[in-house]
């Protein structure tokens, strides 16, 4: 039997289902059916990514290749790690850099407590005001040497590392509870670390608790491939109590010892390449990206690209929120100036202005669909869930026939939100069975049935395991229930109205929680009883409220530019002459999908 030759086809990075079917010269119904078979539910006007389109094309007898767009040499995480290895091998322009450390281990063994203790007791942050913001990476100073910690528990970076087969960290701290030993998640982490050959320091935690058995912990570690130094192996260990701040200095000493042996270096002279750890949209600063510089030096004013976005570095802040002009290897920073928020694991790359122009073309061709909210990307949805940017509603749907299931998913696919998402844990045709209930219990899902019944055994199991089963005979009642549950997951949002600004010219009274100040309205108007923000050197340094407003020593409800006025400020921030007060109000918005 001769091998079937698949027809070649060239596909862009994203494509609508309708256009996809036209390229395949197939009815759109066949394409949608094939998508559904693969668990992807998209309307004809929604876009699917290249990876999804390739799978569907293959199932339908086509071999897909990706359309090449001139968007510059895009750097991936894998390419970056290879480049760093090449730089080390070349030996050119290398200087010592701080080690990058991640803390891993089983749930409830004290990873988060250890990170908090290190941060509070050892952070290299003698600047006034201390830590003004919490980002997913920070530095500590020990014996005059910096250590960079990447807060993997917070943004689940370990899962992302395992999936992509790469590591952000130079050294791993494996936390094992002295009273619990090596647990399933610990074994999974050990297996990963041994495969990737990442240097490890074992932190035997909770030594202050009764019923601890350190010898058992060491034995279990040895059985799983981690042989401690005192047992004749190479792995260093520290006995600690993260809660009581015991043994932290010894742990940091062991990290520095490994760093000395490994001699971590990087090229400080080249243009910077960094890994995006996370990103968010700040109401005052715009897109803010937390970046770990991997090699080179990032400077203020440089043009950069990161994933599908680009921009110019307007401001660099260290992990304490302090403005800096440049960032060297192993430095965790916040970058302000990108046009949009990049994704975790995107590479921040310094480029020439010409490349920025190419990136704009690339973004217009590939990423314009994200602005309209019509794209369907499974990877994007699940990435958002993993990073806790959106909340998910776990559901299992059972229907009488496939047509009903397709109709339900078709309608639900029209719900567009970047804050909540439906996670189809399971779907199927037929009555609700005990296996459905078992699956729902383990995944914390709600079972929705349409024109089906639950078997008597399934009903009893559901009652015993507190699994909710909702049965409907009208399709829109089922849809309305799911929509209502999604609405309940939406976070509270506030709508802001800015009134105007006043420049502070005089301070008349300073109390513990109030001040009386005078100044000139420089734009808009000031509204009595509005909220106030204090802006100093273009940075918001505090908030408060307006208790009273006077113009010409007479109480007024508002005062417009360019008049002068006096106000009573209610708040703990101390205002200085030259500060700008911003008058605004915030109202709770009604939740809508």
Break the chain into its structural domains and give their ranges: 7-66, 98-263, 267-287+294-371, 390-489, 494-588
The pLDDT of residue 292 is 93
Q: Cα separations (Å) of 282 from 301, 334, 581?
A: 20, 12, 19
Non-local CB neighbours of 18 within 8 Å, separated by 6+ positions: 28, 44, 45
The pLDDT of residue 448 is 96
**Would you state the structure tokens that stand for residue 504, as one six-digit string?**
């502070």
Using an 8 Å Cβ cutoff, are 269 and 297 in contact?
Answer: yes
* Helix locations, 165-247, DSSP H: 184-196, 214-223
Q: Give strand pairing partners of 116.
A: none
User: CA 589, CA 559: separation in Å to the nearest integer?
Assistant: 27
3-class secondary structure per residue, 521-566:
EEEEEEECCCEEEEEECCEEEEEEEEEEEEECCEECCEEECCCEEE
User: CA 300, CA 316: separation in Å to the nearest integer?
Assistant: 7
β-pairing verdict for 446-450 and 469-472: parallel
For residue range 249-283, what is the model confidence (pLDDT) as tens digits? Answer: 999 999 999 999 999 999 998 889 999 887 776 76
3-state SS assignment for residue 505 = strand
Task: Please tell me the total number of residues recorded for the chain in this structure.
Answer: 593
Indicate the CATH number for domain 390-489.
3.40.50.10050
- Pick one of 3.90.1720.10, 3.40.50.720, 3.10.580.10, 3.40.50.300 as the CATH number of 98-263: 3.40.50.300
User: CA 579, CA 582: separation in Å to the nearest integer?
Assistant: 10
- Pick one of 3.20.20.140, 3.40.30.10, 2.40.30.10, 1.10.10.60 as the CATH number of 494-588: 2.40.30.10
User: CA 149, CA 140: separation in Å to the nearest integer?
Assistant: 8
| CATH topology (fold) of 267-287+294-371 | Elongation Factor Tu (Ef-tu); domain 3 (2.40.30)
Using an 8 Å Cβ cutoff, are 99 and 259 in contact?
Answer: yes
Using an 8 Å Cβ cutoff, are 328 and 292 in contact?
Answer: no
Unique residue bearing structure tokens 């749907």: 397
User: CA 577, CA 506: separation in Å to the nearest integer?
Assistant: 6
User: CA 186, CA 106: separation in Å to the nearest integer?
Assistant: 5
The pLDDT of residue 73 is 55
The pLDDT of residue 383 is 43
Most distant CA pair in the chain: distance in Å?
Answer: 98
The pLDDT of residue 379 is 42
**379, HSE (Cβ side, Cα atoms, 13 Å):** 12
pLDDT along the chain (593 residues), means of 10: 67 79 89 83 77 86 66 70 85 90 78 81 43 59 90 44 54 90 84 86 91 90 91 91 90 94 92 84 77 94 87 92 94 90 82 55 38 37 49 90 72 84 86 84 93 84 91 89 91 89 95 94 94 94 94 93 95 94 90 76
User: CA 466, CA 438: separation in Å to the nearest integer?
Assistant: 11
3-state SS assignment for residue 385 = helix
Sign of CA dihedral 542, 546, 551, 553: negative
Same fold, 267-287+294-371 and 494-588: yes
């Amino acid at each position: 039997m001769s091998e079937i030759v698949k027809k070649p086809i060239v596909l862009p990075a994203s494509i609508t289902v309708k256009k996809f079917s036209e390229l395949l010269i197939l009815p759109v119904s066949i394409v949608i059916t094939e998508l559904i078979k693969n668990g992807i539910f998209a309307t004809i006007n929604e876009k699917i990514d290249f990876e999804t389109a390739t799978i569907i094309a293959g199932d339908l007898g086509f071999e897909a290749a990706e359309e090449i767009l001139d968007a510059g040499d895009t750097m991936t995480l894998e390419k970056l790690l290879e480049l760093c290895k090449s730089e080390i091998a070349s030996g050119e322009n290398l200087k010592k850099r701080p080690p990058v450390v991640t803390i891993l281990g089983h749930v409830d063994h004290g990873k988060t407590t250890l990170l908090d203790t290190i941060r509070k007791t050892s952070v290299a942050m003698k600047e006034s005001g201390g830590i003004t913001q919490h980002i997913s990476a920070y530095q500590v100073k020990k014996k005059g040497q910096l250590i960079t910690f990447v807060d993997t528990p917070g943004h689940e970076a370990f899962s992302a590392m395992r999936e992509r087969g790469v590591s952000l960290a130079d050294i791993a701290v494996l936390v094992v509870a002295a009273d619990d030993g090596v647990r399933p998640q610990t074994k999974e982490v050990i297996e990963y670390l041994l495969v990737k050959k990442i240097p490890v320091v074992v932190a035997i935690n909770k030594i202050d608790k009764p019923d601890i058995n350190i010898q058992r912990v060491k034995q279990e570690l040895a059985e799983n491939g981690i042989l401690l130094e005192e047992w004749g192996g190479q792995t260093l260990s520290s006995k600690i109590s993260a809660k009581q701040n015991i043994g932290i200095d010894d742990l940091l000493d062991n990290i520095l010892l490994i760093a000395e042996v490994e001699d971590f270096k990087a090229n400080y002279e080249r243009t910077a390449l960094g890994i995006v750890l996370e990103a968010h949209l700040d109401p005052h600063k715009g897109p803010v990206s937390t970046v770990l510089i991997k090699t080179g030096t990032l400077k203020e004013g440089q043009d950069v690209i990161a994933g599908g976005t680009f921009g110019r570095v307007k401001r660099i802040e260290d992990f304490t929120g302090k403005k800096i002009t440049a960032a060297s290897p192993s430095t965790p920073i916040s970058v302000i100036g990108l046009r949009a928020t990049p994704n975790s694991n995107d590479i921040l790359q310094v480029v020439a202005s010409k490349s920025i122009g190419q990136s704009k073309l690339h973004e217009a061709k590939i990423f314009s669909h994200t602005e309209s909210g019509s794209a369907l990307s499974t990877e994007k949805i699940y990435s958002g869930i993993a990073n806790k940017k959106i909340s998910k509603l776990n559901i299992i749907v059972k229907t009488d026939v496939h047509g009903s299931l397709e109709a339900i998913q078709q309608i639900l696919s029209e719900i567009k939100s970047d804050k909540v998402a439906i996670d189809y844990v399971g779907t199927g045709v037929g009555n609700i069975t005990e296996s459905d209930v078992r699956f729902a219990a383990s995944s914390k899902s709600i079972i929705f049935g349409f024109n089906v019944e639950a078997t008597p055994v399934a009903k009893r199991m559901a009652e015993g395991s507190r699994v909710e089963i909702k049965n409907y005979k009208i399709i829109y009642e089922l849809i309305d229930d799911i929509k209502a549950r999604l609405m309940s997951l939406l976070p509270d949002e506030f709508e802001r109205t800015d009134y105007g600004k006043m420049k502070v010219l005089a301070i008349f009274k300073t109390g513990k929680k109030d001040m009386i100040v005078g100044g000139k309205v420089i734009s808009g108007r000031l509204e009595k009883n509005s909220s106030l923000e204090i802006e100093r050197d273009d940075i918001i340094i505090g908030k408060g409220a307006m208790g009273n407003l006077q113009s010409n020593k007479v109480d007024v409800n508002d005062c417009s530019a360019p008049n002068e006025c006096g106000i009573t400020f209610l708040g703990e921030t101390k205002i200085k002459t030259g500060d700008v007060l911003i008058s605004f109000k915030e109202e709770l918005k009604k939740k809508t999908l």
